[in-house]
Amino acid sequence: MIVPHYIRLATADDTDIVVRILIASKEASFPDSIGDHDRDVEFWTNRWREYITSGSRAQMSRGDGWVFIAEVGGRPVGYIAYHHTTRHGTDAELQNIYLLKDYQRQGIG
């Protein structure tokens, strides 16, 4: 079943939403592979705030970066991040895509 949803560009004010979705999705979807670093809210908050406001610092990135928030009924349930790159001979790279477990397999991702 496809759930009606809305996609919007993230701002620095959405950093806590991105971090919450990242950690919750990993805990629910990959419980055997998540470690302390994956739950380090301060680390991820700093990383994602910088990515949202200043772009990617990934190897061979062109320095830009976008994060989009997926919402269902006004509730943030996922995000996707990408940036332009020269890595692997491509023009762009998907940095992350995460959905809360309850919203996976519904056509949102």
Q: Rounded mean pLDDT of 53-72?
A: 90
Full strand arrangement of the beta sheet holding 6-9: 6-9, 66-72, 75-84, 92-99
CA 15/CA 79 separation, integer angstroms: 11
Q: What is the pTM of this model?
A: 0.89
Question: Which 8-state DSSP code applies to residue 2?
Answer: P
Q: What is the pLDDT of residue 16?
A: 98
Q: Convert the pLDDT of each residue in 63-88 to its tens digit.
A: 889 999 999 989 999 999 998 888 88
Percent of the chain whose pLDDT exceeds 90:
69
Q: Rounded mean pLDDT of 17-46?
A: 96
Locus of tokens 């004010």: 13
CA 17/CA 74 separation, integer angstroms: 13
Q: What is the pLDDT of residue 2?
A: 55
**The pair of three-digit structure tokens given for residue 7, joined into one six-digit string:** 């996609």
